[in-house]
Amino acid sequence: MSKTMSEKIFSNSTGDDVVSGDILIADVDVAMTHDLTGPLSLKSFYEIGENVWDPDKIVIPFDHQVPADSLEAADNHIVMRRFVKEQKIKNFYDVNQGICHQILPELGHVVPGEIIVGTDSHTCTHGALGAFSTGIGSTDMAMVFKTGKLWFKVPETIYFDIKGELNDNVYAKDVILNIIGKVGVDGASYKSCEFGGETTKNMTVSDRMVLCNMAIEMGGKTGLVEPDEITLNYLKNRANKDFKLFKTDLDAPSIEKISIDVSDLEPQVACPHNVDNVSPVSEVDSEIDQVFLGSCTNGRIEDLRVAAKILKGNKIANGVRMLVIPASKEVYTKTLDEGLMKIFVDAGALVCNPCCGPCLGGHVGLIGPGEVSLSTSNRNFKGRQGSPDGEVYLSSPAVAATSAIKGRISIPE
Residue 377: inside a domain: yes
Question: Are 216 and 320 contained in the same domain?
Answer: no
Say if residue 139 is in the same domain as residue 288.
Answer: no
Query: Is position 246 within any domain?
Result: no
Q: Which residues of 30-62 are buried (b: 16+ CB within 10 A; e: fewer)?
A: bbbbbbbbbbbbbebbeeeeeebbebebbbbbb
DSSP string, 266-287: PPEEEPTT-TT-EEEGGG---B
Q: Whose CA is closest to 183, among 221, 218, 151?
A: 218
For residue 29, tell me if it sits in a domain. Answer: yes
Give the residue among 132, 343, 294, 329 at the shortest CA–CA distance from 124.
132
Q: What pLDDT does residue 362 have?
A: 73
Domain-located, residue 383: yes
Of 252, 264, 240, the C-alpha closest to 108 is 240
Is 183 in the same domain as 73? Answer: yes
Residue 157: predicted pLDDT: 97
Q: Is residue 247 part of a domain?
A: no
Residues 237 and 272 in one domain: no
pLDDT along the chain (413 residues), means of 10: 94 93 96 94 91 96 91 94 96 95 96 97 96 95 96 96 95 98 94 96 97 96 96 93 94 93 96 95 94 96 97 96 96 96 96 89 86 94 86 97 96 88
CA atoms within 13 Å, Cβ hemisphere of 410: 15
Range of the domain at 55: 5-241+253-259
Q: According to the model, what pLDDT value does residue 364 have? A: 83
Q: Are 177 and 277 in contact (CB under 8 A)?
A: no
Predicted TM-score (pTM) of this structure: 0.92
Determine, yes or no, domain membership for 413. no
Domain contains 412: no
Query: Which residues is 386 bridged to in the sheet?
Result: 367
Number of domain units in the chain: 2
pLDDT at 55: 96
Quick one: 118 exposed, middle or buried, by C-beta within 10 A (0-12, 13-18, 19+)?
Answer: buried
Are 235 and 273 in the same domain? no
Confidence at residue 128, expressed as pLDDT on a 0 to 100 scale: 97
Say whether both 77 and 189 belong to one domain.
yes
pLDDT recorded at residue 69:
86
Are 122 and 69 in a shared domain?
A: yes
- Shared-domain flag, residues 32 and 77: yes
Residue 39 lies in a domain: yes
71 and 170 fall within a common domain: yes
Domain boundary among 259, 292, 323: 259
Q: For residues 180 and 140, what is the distance between their CA atoms, to the nearest angstrom?
A: 28
Are the C-beta atoms of 306 and 398 separated by less than 8 Å?
Answer: yes
Instruction: Check whether residue 275 and residue 236 sit in a common domain.
Output: no
Same domain flag for 348 and 282:
yes
What is the arrangement of strands in the sheet containing 132-135, beginning at the earlier edge strand? 92-93, 58-61, 30-32, 115-118, 132-135
Residue 131: per-residue pLDDT:
97
Residues 222 and 322 in one domain: no
Kindly report the CATH number assigned to the domain that includes residue 295. 3.30.499.10
Task: Give residue 49's pLDDT.
Answer: 83
